[in-house]
Structure 1
Amino acid sequence: MRTVQLVFDNVVVNTLLVPDGSLVRLDQVTFPDGSALTAVGDYWEVEGAGIGWIVAGNTLVPPALPPVELAALKATLKAQVDSAAEAERLRYITAGTGQAMTYSAKADEARRLAGDAAPDAANYPLLAAEIGITASDLAGVAAVVLANYQAWLGIGAAIEMARLGAKRAIDEAGNADDARAAADFAWPAPGSEG
């Protein structure tokens, strides 16, 4: 199959798929079986051309894109970076405001436990809830929680650095292409943060 464009008033108004072996002339497409389709406009065959393309000399060209309002583009790109950063964070942590509060409270309990000479499990309810699951005792749970928290700080900081760097580069971009290029970056891999 091939694509043929129907041009009217120097603009592609429709595209048609025609079988291989069809003869495309300016005013008619003749199919392999001998049947024909006569144009109201002109038939063109330019690979990749689509509706809205414009006649330019002996070929078709894509229409000019409307001018981009740079401030609006930058705002959209920065919002997309923020959204992508959250998706990247969720590769390493569990989603949810309550879960984030739980992680933070567990890390706080683990830090407090480290300085407690005579810890009582009742003073560390979130850590105590993990005894027998994460580790066999309160100190073991606290050690795992602190290790996970430290690992999160590394990757979380690297994600934040990438997010803020991209947003600054978007802000500093002088044109739409540079702004889009600034928003096209790679997130850090685990272990690359330090």
Structure 2
Amino acid sequence: MSQVAEFYIPNVGNVAADQGFTGPNGTQYGAGWLLNPPEVEAAALGVLPLVREEKPDHDSNTQYLREQQVGAVISYVVEDIPSEEIEARLAGLAVAAAMQVDLAAEQARMRFITPGAGQAMVYQTKIEEAARWIAAGSPPDLSAYPFIAAEVGLTAPSAAELVALWQTMESGWRTVAAQIEAVRMTGKNAINAAAAGGDPAAITAALNAALVTLAAFAP
């Protein structure tokens, strides 16, 4: 798609060639007038082609690119961003990245357990009840162990097999949870180190690495 030519008109401003405009004296000029204007009238208005100088290279993390216009010429000036603003940007970027890592870690955990605080309490109560049952010598009377009593015959045929199953599941979950936590902490530490080093690209790289690893966890 070709770019539409632009013109500068004193006391009017910048106008695209295919747009209409109001002249300094209030005269209305229709859309497209600038594409082929009468020479005398264009000269009287002071119509000039708008010139945009080439943008200089700059580091957007540490420098602003300011646009300025003098007459029909638009030029660009590179200015250093104040150090305190750079630090604030890095801090904000690091906080946002850390929050994304925390969220991804929680999503990874939820792929292995049923969501909900109530369900988490049930799981924990089962494990504690299983430990009490074993510590008591694995008694056949399950009246003091309501979760075991309720699930025997459903998930496993005996209390011993049921408790063994719960413990196996708990062990597997603890292993996965520890791995997820290691990735979470490693990622956040890398993000903080990148922020301390003033490297926004490294913050993004550390975030992406953590997200990719956490996304790979699956039951």
TM-based fold match above 0.5: yes
- Taking the aligned partners of 1:153 and 1:94, their CA distance within structure 2 comes to 15
In the other structure, the counterpart of 2:74 is none
Which residue pairs with 2:171 in the alignment? 150
For 1:136 and 1:114, the matched residues in 2 are separated by 17
- Does structure 1 conserve the Cα–Cα contact (< 8 Å) formed by 2:5 and 2:17? no
Alignment check: 8 A CA contact 2:108 2:218 kept: no
What displacement does 1:123 show? 1.7
Aligned residue pair count: 152
Aligned to 1:184: 208
Using the alignment, how far apart are the partners of 1:136 and 1:182 within structure 2? 48
1:123 corresponds in structure 2 to 144
Task: Give the partner amino acid of 2:149.
Answer: A
Specify whether residues 83 and 8 from structure 1 end up closer, same or farther in structure 2 by C-alpha distance, changes over 3 A only: farther
CA distance in 2, matches of 1:40, 1:134: 82
Following superposition of structure 1 onto structure 2, how do residues 28-43 of structure 1 map, counting pairs within 5 Å?
A: 38=32
Match status 1:169 vs 2:190 = yes
RMSD: 3.5
Match of 2:115 among 83, 86, 95: 95
Partner-residue secondary structure (3-state), 1:171:
helix
CA displacement at 1:92 relative to structure 2: 0.6
Aligned-pair identity (%): 32
How far the C-alpha of 1:149 sits from its partner, in A, is 0.3
Residues 130 and 72 from structure 1, CA distance in 2 versus in 1: closer, same or farther, beyond 3 angstroms?
Answer: same
Q: Distance in 2 between matches of 1:38 and 1:85?
A: 58
Matched residue of 2:208: which SS?
Answer: coil
Segments of 5+ residues of structure 1 without an aligned counterpart are 11-25, 29-36, 42-54
Counterpart secondary structure, 2:179: helix
1:58-101 deviation digits (Å, cap 9, x = unpaired): x9x9xx57776111111111111111100010111110111111
Distance in 1 separating the partners of 2:97 and 2:121: 29
Instruction: Write out per-residue CA displacement over residues 129-165 of structure 1, whole angstroms, 9 at most, x where no aligned residue.
Output: 2112210122221111100000001110000000011
CA 1:5/1:163 → structure 2, altered by over 3 Å: closer, same or farther?
A: farther
- CA–CA distance in 1 between the matches of 2:205 and 2:107? 20
- The partner residue of 1:72 within 64, 80, 92 is 92
State the 1:120 CA deviation.
2.8
In terms of fraction of residues, the more helix-rich structure is 2
Change (3 A) 1:108 1:180: same
Q: Deviation of residue 115 (structure 1)?
A: 2.2
- Contact between 1:155 and 1:190, CA under 8 Å: does it hold in 2? no
Please state whether the residue corresponding to 2:189 is helix, strand or coil: helix
